[in-house]
């Protein structure tokens, strides 16, 4: 393992400290709960929107904390849902009279941590509601599993809900909006390489030089199939086909298109992928109205990408276009 | 057979050491179909229990178990924190303010923990989870104890059953947790949670007579 780390056990804490030091005017780090929060939260005139999830997906979600997006994020260890206490502590620190909204990616651990935390804080009179995000089409949504995973599409739920919360939308309205965005968002990813969690010190799974994993999860979980490595066009066409067919997105639909890097894919390759995906959608009569290219939800040092589509309507476009001020910036 | 606070503390301490000592093994098992965080989560949570060992409430068995649960939920993330936290809390609730439990109370405590795991995980035997080792093991323990068997024999029997049951998770298809995404590809792998439960029963059974001997000599001094 060759990484820019010290003691693997300090990896998350040192990353969070750096995030706060890089944004002294807007972010605050609370080590006790792995919490990155807005310095001005909680506010009486807005619902506090919080995320948990595991670490290792940066910029998701600690670097999405800021005006117009999240009020706080309390990640667990790498690829591990936060302990219940982190969520309880974060909820109490961000408790607003308008309520607290949990945005939870659909994983067993996250679901249980937020469910237990909700039981505990509700007993103390705090009003909470939950939106579960499950945009990954690679996993069948069946009663025999816990259902589809939450992956890169969570960005759109955070962005829309964050913008509406900034305009003082009620907790109930935010739940409706979050569920609406989730219902029109679909993602599928693929891995060219495995990834190495610092505490493990070796790749999470083996992927041969001439193999790829289609439908991979953002923790390296298996996807739909392991296949011989294809060309960029073949890979992107397969991802676009899987995503488009799932909702399905139809001729005349207006969409947002996101090409998300999984951590070790050059920006050049992401734009190459974007170009192909864009053309494929146009050829299907689907109008790409908003474009997103870069790293939004990564899997440590995994090479690969995911394709996300969101079916837009006028209200949703306004929320996505609304200003936000988060740690991720290049200006 | 009765169980004292010392007996309960011995079992918890043994479980904690098993979790800490097997971090690598449990992580490797999880990496096959999960995401490899199981060993790390278990080790960090139970490491915290051992670190705060002397400060745990020892006024009653219920208080002790709730203290352990609180520590676990404060540090253990992933699926493991809520699962083990809920199990320990439910067990503590049944044990209540007692400092010594009758056989039936010990069994009620274990079944309450299992029911907590079922509810929290929305899972049951057959889903390829820790319940697939835990439920048969507690059934075996109960059978031995209700037949008048000694605790040492009952634990040995439970350890054997747990190990067999953990091994029997190999052909199962995972239906809960991240392993469930692997679907048919989860077939052929040992469930890490079931393997951890089996290892815990093995370690408790292996050192139980030593613990009883030590307790007896303490009682006589």
Residue B215 included in any domain: no
Q: Residues, chain B, total?
A: 221
State how beta strands A211-214 and A185-191 pair: antiparallel
How far A225 CA sits from the closest chain B CA (Å)? 10
Q: For an interface test with B, which of A7, A10, A11, A80 has the most B Cβ atoms less than 10 Å from its Cβ?
A: A80
Domain count, chain B: 1
Residue among A112, A138, A146 minimizing CB distance to B120: A112
Residue B124 included in any domain: yes
Residue A2 included in any domain: no
CB pair distance less than 8 Å for B33 and A222:
yes
Are A200 and A136 members of one domain? Answer: no
Check if the beta carbon of residue B76 is closer than 8 Å to that of residue B61: no
Residue A331 included in any domain: no
Contacts of B188 in chain A (CB under 8 A): none
Query: Which of the residue ranges A36-45, A112-121, A164-173, A322-331 would you say has the lowest mean pLDDT?
Result: A322-331
Give ipTM to 2 decimals.
Answer: 0.75
Token representation of residue B22: 């097997």
CB pair distance less than 8 Å for B81 and A139:
no
Query: Which of the residue ranges A30-44, A132-146, A170-184, A307-321 would you say has the lowest mean pLDDT?
Result: A132-146
Distance CA B19, CA B177 (A): 19
pLDDT at B32: 76
CB pair distance less than 8 Å for A107 and B178:
yes
Are A196 and A165 members of one domain? Answer: no
CB pair distance less than 8 Å for A145 and B175:
yes
Token representation of residue B5: 């606070």
- Please provide the average confidence, as pLDDT, over all residues in chain A: 95
Are A91 and A228 members of one domain? Answer: no
More confident residue, B174 or A47: A47
Domain count, chain A: 2
Q: Is A313 exposed, middle or buried (0-12, 13-18, 19+ CB in 10 A)?
A: exposed
CB contact, 8 Å: B119 with chain A? Answer: no
Residue A304 included in any domain: yes
CB pair distance less than 8 Å for A116 and B86:
yes
Question: Over the range A65-103, which residues count as b (16 or more CB within 10 Å of their CB) and which as e?
Answer: bbbbbbbbbbbbbbbbbbbbbbbbbbbbbbbbebbbbbb
Residue B76 included in any domain: yes
Are A178 and A198 members of one domain? Answer: no
Mean pLDDT calculated for residue range A89-105 = 98
Annotated active-site residue in A38, A46, A57, A276: A57
Distance CA A220, CA B33 (A): 9
Q: Residues, chain A, total?
A: 331
- Please provide the average confidence, as pLDDT, over all residues in chain B: 92
CB contact, 8 Å: B181 with chain A? Answer: yes
Check if the beta carbon of residue A241 is closer than 8 Å to that of residue A251: no
Residue B108 included in any domain: yes
Contacts of B33 in chain A (CB under 8 A): 221-222
Residue B214 included in any domain: no
Are A219 and A262 members of one domain? Answer: yes
Q: For an interface test with A, which of B75, B82, B124 has the most A Cβ atoms less than 10 Å from its Cβ?
A: B82
- CA-based torsion, A86, A89, A93, A98: positive or negative: positive
Place of tokens 């030593």: B210
8-state DSSP, B188: T
SS3 A53: coil
Q: B61-75 vs A84-93: helix axis angle to the nearest 10?
A: 80
Check if the beta carbon of residue A41 is closer than 8 Å to that of residue A72: yes
Residue A165 included in any domain: yes
State how beta strands A100-105 and A128-133 pair: parallel
Mean pLDDT calculated for residue range A136-153 = 79
Find the residue in A nearest to B36 (Cα): A204
- CATH code of the domain containing A104: 3.40.50.10440
Are A194 and A177 members of one domain? Answer: no
Residue A278 among the catalytic residues: no
CB pair distance less than 8 Å for A76 and B78:
yes
Residue A13 included in any domain: yes
Query: Which pLDDT band, with edges at 50, 70 and 90, does B174 fall under?
Result: confident
Residue B100 included in any domain: yes
Residue A26 included in any domain: yes
Check if the beta carbon of residue A46 is closer than 8 Å to that of residue A98: yes
The string of pLDDT tens digits covering residues A196-224 is: 999 888 888 889 999 999 998 888 777 78
pLDDT at A142: 53
Query: Which pLDDT band, with edges at 50, 70 and 90, does B221 fall under?
Result: very low
Instruction: Give A226-229 contacts, CB < 8 A, sequence gap 24+.
Output: A229/A192
Residue A159 included in any domain: yes
Q: B114: domain range?
A: 2-209
Element (H, E) at B16: helix B5-21
CB contact, 8 Å: B48 with chain A? Answer: no
How far B31 CA sits from the closest chain A CA (Å)? 6
pLDDT at B217: 67
Residue B118 included in any domain: yes
Residue A325, CA distances (Å) to A25, A98, A317, A322 in order: 11, 22, 18, 10
Are A129 and A190 members of one domain? Answer: no
8-state DSSP, A82: P
- CATH code of the domain containing A225: 3.30.1180.20
Are A271 and A139 members of one domain? Answer: no
Check if the beta carbon of residue A308 is closer than 8 Å to that of residue A186: yes
Are A271 and A161 members of one domain? Answer: no
Are A149 and A243 members of one domain? Answer: no
Are A176 and A36 members of one domain? Answer: yes
How far B72 CA sits from the closest chain A CA (Å)? 8
Q: A226: domain range?
A: 185-314
- CATH code of the domain containing B35: 1.25.40.340
Are A30 and A175 members of one domain? Answer: yes
Residue B218 included in any domain: no
């Amino acid at each position: 393992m060759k990484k820019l780390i010290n003691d693997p056990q300090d990896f998350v804490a040192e990353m969070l400290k750096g995030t706060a030091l890089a944004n002294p005017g807007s972010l605050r780090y609370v080590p006790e709960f792995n919490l990155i929060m807005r310095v001005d939260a909680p506010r009486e005139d807005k619902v506090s929107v919080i995320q948990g999830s595991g670490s290792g997906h940066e910029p998701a979600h600690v670097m999405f904390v800021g005006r117009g997006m999240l009020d706080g994020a309390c990640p667990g260890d790498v690829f591990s849902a936060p302990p219940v206490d982190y969520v309880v502590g974060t909820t109490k620190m961000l408790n607003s009279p308008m309520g607290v909204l949990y945005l939870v990616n659909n994983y067993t651990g996250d679901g249980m941590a937020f469910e237990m935390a909700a039981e505990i804080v509700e007993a103390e009179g705090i009003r909470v509601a939950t939106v579960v995000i499950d945009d990954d089409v690679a996993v069948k949504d069946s009663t025999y599993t816990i259902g589809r995973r939450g992956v890169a599409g969570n960005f759109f739920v955070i962005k829309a809900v964050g913008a509406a919360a900034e305009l003082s939308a009620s907790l109930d309205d935010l739940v409706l909006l979050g569920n609406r965005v989730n219902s029109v968002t679909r993602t599928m990813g693929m891995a060219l390489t495995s990834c190495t969690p610092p505490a493990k010190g070796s790749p999470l799974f083996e992927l041969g030089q001439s193999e790829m994993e289609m439908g991979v999860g953002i923790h390296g979980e298996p996807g739909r199939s392991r296949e011989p490595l294809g060309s960029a066009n073949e890979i992107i066409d397969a991802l676009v086909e899987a995503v488009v067919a799932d909702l399905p997105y139809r001729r005349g639909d207006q969409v947002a298109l996101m090409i998300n890097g999984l951590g070790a894919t050059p920006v050049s390759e992401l734009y190459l992928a974007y170009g192909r995906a864009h053309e494929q959608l146009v050829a299907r009569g689907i109008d790409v109205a908003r474009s997103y290219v870069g790293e939004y939800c990564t899997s440590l040092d995994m090479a690969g990408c995911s394709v996300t589509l969101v079916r837009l309507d006028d209200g949703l476009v306004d929320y996505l276009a609304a200003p936000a001020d988060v740690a991720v910036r290049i200006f | 057979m009765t169980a004292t606070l010392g007996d309960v503390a011995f079992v918890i301490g043994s479980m904690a050491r098993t979790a800490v000592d097997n971090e690598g093994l449990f992580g490797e098992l999880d990496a096959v179909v999960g995401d490899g965080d199981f060993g790390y989560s278990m080790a960090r949570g139970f490491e915290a229990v051992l670190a705060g060992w002397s400060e745990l409430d020892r006024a009653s068995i219920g208080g002790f178990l709730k203290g352990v649960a609180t520590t676990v939920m404060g540090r253990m993330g992933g699926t493991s924190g809520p699962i083990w936290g809920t199990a320990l809390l439910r067990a503590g609730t049944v044990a209540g303010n007692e400092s010594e439990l009758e056989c039936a109370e010990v069994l009620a405590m274990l079944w309450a923990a299992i029911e907590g795991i079922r509810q929290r995980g929305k899972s049951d035997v057959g889903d390829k989870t820790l319940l697939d080792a835990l439920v048969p093991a507690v059934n075996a323990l109960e059978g031995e104890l209700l037949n008048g068997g000694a605790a040492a024999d009952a634990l040995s029997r439970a350890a054997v059953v747990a190990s067999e049951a953990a091994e029997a998770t190999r052909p199962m298809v995972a239906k809960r947790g991240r392993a469930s995404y692997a679907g048919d590809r989860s077939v052929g792998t040992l469930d890490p949670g079931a393997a951890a439960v089996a290892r815990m029963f093995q370690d408790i059974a292996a050192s139980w007579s030593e613990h009883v001997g030590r307790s007896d000599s303490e009682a006589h001094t």
